[in-house]
A and B are shown apart, each in its own frame.
Chain A
Amino acid sequence: ELVQFLLVKDQKKIPIKRKDMLKNVIREYRDAYMEIVSQAGRILQETFGLRMVEIDPKLHSYILISSLPCAEANHPCRAKEKEKMGLLIVILSFIFMKGNAVKDSALWEFLRWLRVHPGEQHEIFGDVQKLVTEEFVRQKYLKITPIPLTDPPQFSYQWGPRAAQETSKEDILNFVAKVQGKNPKFWTSQHNEATA
């Protein structure tokens, strides 16, 4: 039962919290929690090739990541998701190439250059502002932190824990290299970081 609970929750890309597992599935077997969770983890790995990864040690929340080598975009998704993932990859690339953190003003200027404007309904992505600042953050693909002592408040955008698990700096660098028709080594510092 726990396995199915985890699969269904993960399909929505929302991290699964330990207390939800306890409340919804484990209930009266609280004492056997560790045993049940590790058994579920074994089944997920053995049958589905999925790993439970803890992304928040305080809240004890988990996501499921494919442990298969060169996992394709295997996520349960509607057709629309592929387009959102495309946008996400572009954003992750921008963040990485700029040194792993960018200011919100810089990101939105970059997106404007790609004809994606906040505040405007995009024909494919809809409310882009919501998608980037809410959905991607909720799904742990992006992390947005306020920059202290800024007025009006500015924010720093970084990779979220799910992004770090589902792709790698090396994959992103190769993507950028492919798009620009250059060798990844062209960007020396990023290349060193990605292959460290």
Chain B
Amino acid sequence: DTAMAAQMTDAHRRFLQVLMSKGITEGSEARRLHHHCCETDKVYYAHDKLDDFISTINRHLQPLFMQIRKGMSEEDGRAHYAVVNLAETEVTKMASDYTEIELELFRKTMDLIILSENGFASSTDILNLADKLKTKKMKKKEAEQVLKVFVEDKWLSEKNGEYTLHTRCIIEMEQYILSNYQDVARKCNICRSLAVQSQVCESCGIGMHLPCVRKYFKAQTEPRCPKCNEFWSCDIP
């Protein structure tokens, strides 16, 4: 325990309330919010103490099995923060917001995304799924609407008609995905977190996040696999 009070102040509470209401918060925005909360509630502010600030909150969230977790966007490598529920054994966070049939569509879409090579599922494939749902068939138009809502709510993100898991979803469901897709889900060789989108070594099969690849190979003259040392065949992002 540091000398700095491990007490929750109104600044901590305000930070937590806003984080919870936003679902996911990008790193620089979180820093701004930290500053704003400390100013509003007149609490001592040190600009590089965001992690300590968050630890204090997490200490109080621990008995509730909740946590402010930091994750990395697979698109741009930027840090994001989300409040996650550690006790969940399934997609219970979503359970209260969506119907049974919508949840089934989401689970099947998640299957497609995680089992795919590149971490994306095409909208055509997802719409085909909608037709075969166990709960009840979903019409194409309805499925398109539901996908739109998933994107708005930051569970999925869309690029060129293809869908992948939003950073928020990855942060919140990482444990769930790693335990439920044990054999298929890839972990990044560099940062050891779940990698939904990844580049894979052709020789030894290890995977890495695209931003991690970029960072790792920045300093190297010849891109070589960190594990088997074979020449890295994918385009460096």
Contact = CB atoms under 8 A, between A and B. Distances in A.
Interface of A: 3-4, 7-9, 11-12, 43, 46-50, 66, 68-72, 74-80
Nearest to B57: A47
A7 B153 CA distance: 18
Interface string B50-62: 0000000100110
Contacts of B13: 47-49, 68
7 contacts: A4-B64, A12-B96, A46-B60, A47-B8, A69-B10, A70-B40, A74-B14
A79 B17 contact: no
B17 A49 contact: yes
Contacts of A12: 96-97
A57 B221 CA distance: 72
B1 interface: no
B85 interface: yes
Given A4-B64, A76-B20, A49 B10 contact: yes
Given A4-B64, A49-B13, A50-B17, 7 more contacts: A12-B97, A47-B13, A47-B16, A49-B10, A49-B16, A68-B13, A80-B152
B103 interface: no
A74 B22 CA distance: 9
Given A4-B66, A77-B21, A48 B85 contact: no
A66 to B, nearest CB: 6
A7 B87 CA distance: 15
Contact of A74 (B17, B23, B66, B97): B17
A30 to B, nearest CB: 22
B90 interface: no
B202 interface: no
Interface in B128-153: 152-153
B93 to A, nearest CB: 8
B18 A74 contact: yes
A120 B171 CA distance: 40
B199 to A, nearest CB: 33
Contacts of B60: 46-47
A72 B65 CA distance: 26
A11 B17 CA distance: 11
A70 B20 CA distance: 18
A20 to B, nearest CB: 12
B152 A78 contact: yes
Going nearest first, the 3 A-B pairs with the smallest beta carbon separation are A49-B13, A74-B17, A76-B21
A43 B62 CA distance: 12
Greatest chain B CB density within 10 A among A3, A43, A48, A80 is at A48
Contacts of A43: 64
B83 to A, nearest CB: 10
Interface in B14-31: 14, 16-18, 20-21, 23
A164 B56 CA distance: 33
